[in-house]
A = this chain, B = another copy of it.
């Protein structure tokens, strides 16, 4: 048994959400498992779903290595399935393999620095599946910490677009780490990308990175700009990490207006151009609003990495992983606003900052820092 500090999150039926750092024991790795001494783990929006969700951290009770906040409705009832469960957190991270199970794949990683996806990366140690580990060679743990979720998601969007017969994509909140990565991939692959951002400096950032189509949803000309970009690129497929409100609705409207402008005859059912938005995150927890303004040839669906990878199949996943590994410091590079250790992660200044998920302001957890 190896002992180390680990973060846990517990939501009680009465609405108390407790995040705490506690001593944990990690058993010896078996079979395909490896035991990783974790050195760095990013706080991704997908981690915040169980870390902060909609809880009130302004009025929370803070103690060293612990915080207790209140979860409002309907989010409390909505997470009924986890009530009372003490859950680990942290999808991904990087560290050094210090023990392995007896499979050849596991043993081959002994002593190596790897990126991994243990699901409990906010921890000093983690048990990970050797098949999901990416050897980092000479790269630091910081360089490799985000080498799974964002890279595979961005590549997954391009794969999804190709599978569904598209040669152009619309992306919302496009200046994020993920968005910048997607922009680099699309430039490399010749996939046209319409980047939607909310701020001028985000637009400038993407343009400075070679983005050809960037529209600002805060501009009074937003809908016209978006229509022009859609008309030029033929983008009728989009990816939306915002989820709540009318972000996707606006894109579907613009797509429809472009399609209708190309029709020679009026149809009461709208255009016969299929329009599709994938919602892959919930930066806004408000309901998604879809107005009846784009006929009936549309679809809005959730997009999640794991089911996508299962659908894509092993060969595609291996090809994607190899591409990430070969381009870790270029196409797939991530940037961090701040580093925190496990205790600092639960202090008010940090928690109230990273929970906002501001574009380009990602935190990195260094559990031995």
- Whether the Cβ atoms of A302 and B295 lie closer than 8 Å is yes
A74, A249, A268, A290 — most chain B CB neighbours (10 Å): A268
Chain A residues numbered 291-338 whose CB sits less than 8 Å from any CB in chain B: 291-293, 295-304, 306-307
- Whether the Cβ atoms of A299 and B299 lie closer than 8 Å is yes
A264→B87 CA distance, assembly (Å) = 14
Contacts of A190 in B (CB 8 A): none
A46, A296, A297, A298 — most chain B CB neighbours (10 Å): A296
- How many copies of this chain are found per oligomer? 2
> How far apart are A238's CB and chain B's nearest CB, in angstroms?
14
Residue in B263, B279, B296, B304 whose CB lies within 8 Å of A303: B296
Residue in B287, B296, B297 whose CB lies within 8 Å of A290: B287
Chain B residue with Cβ nearest A272? B307
For A52-86 the 0/1 string (1 means CB < 8 A from B) is 00000000000000000000001000100110010
A282 within 8 A of B: yes
A288 within 8 A of B: yes
- Whether the Cβ atoms of A288 and B285 lie closer than 8 Å is no
Residue in B244, B263, B302 whose CB lies within 8 Å of A297: B302
A298→B282 CA distance, assembly (Å) = 14
A110 within 8 A of B: no
> How far apart are A337's CB and chain B's nearest CB, in angstroms?
23
Chain B residue with Cβ nearest A91? B268
- Whether the Cβ atoms of A292 and B81 lie closer than 8 Å is no
Chain B residue with Cβ nearest A77? B293
A300→B307 CA distance, assembly (Å) = 17
A247→B200 CA distance, assembly (Å) = 39
- Whether the Cβ atoms of B292 and A287 lie closer than 8 Å is yes
Q: A50-B268, A291-B287 are in contact. Are A263 and B302 (CB under 8 A)?
A: no
Chain A residues numbered 227-244 whose CB sits less than 8 Å from any CB in chain B: 243-244
- Whether the Cβ atoms of B301 and A302 lie closer than 8 Å is no
Q: A300-B299, A301-B298 are in contact. Are A74 and B293 (CB under 8 A)?
A: yes
A131 within 8 A of B: no
- Whether the Cβ atoms of B266 and A87 lie closer than 8 Å is yes
- Whether the Cβ atoms of A292 and B285 lie closer than 8 Å is yes
Contacts of A280 in B (CB 8 A): 296
A40→B167 CA distance, assembly (Å) = 47
Chain A residues numbered 251-298 whose CB sits less than 8 Å from any CB in chain B: 260, 263, 266, 268-269, 272, 274, 279-280, 282, 285, 287-293, 295-298
- Whether the Cβ atoms of A301 and B304 lie closer than 8 Å is no
Contacts of A272 in B (CB 8 A): 306-307
> How far apart are A152's CB and chain B's nearest CB, in angstroms?
15
Residues in chain A within 8 A of chain B (CB atoms) = 46, 49-50, 74, 78, 81-82, 85, 87, 243-244, 249, 260, 263, 266, 268-269, 272, 274, 279-280, 282, 285, 287-293, 295-304, 306-307
- Give 6 CB contacts A-B under 8 Å: A78-B292, A81-B260, A244-B292, A282-B292, A288-B289, A296-B303
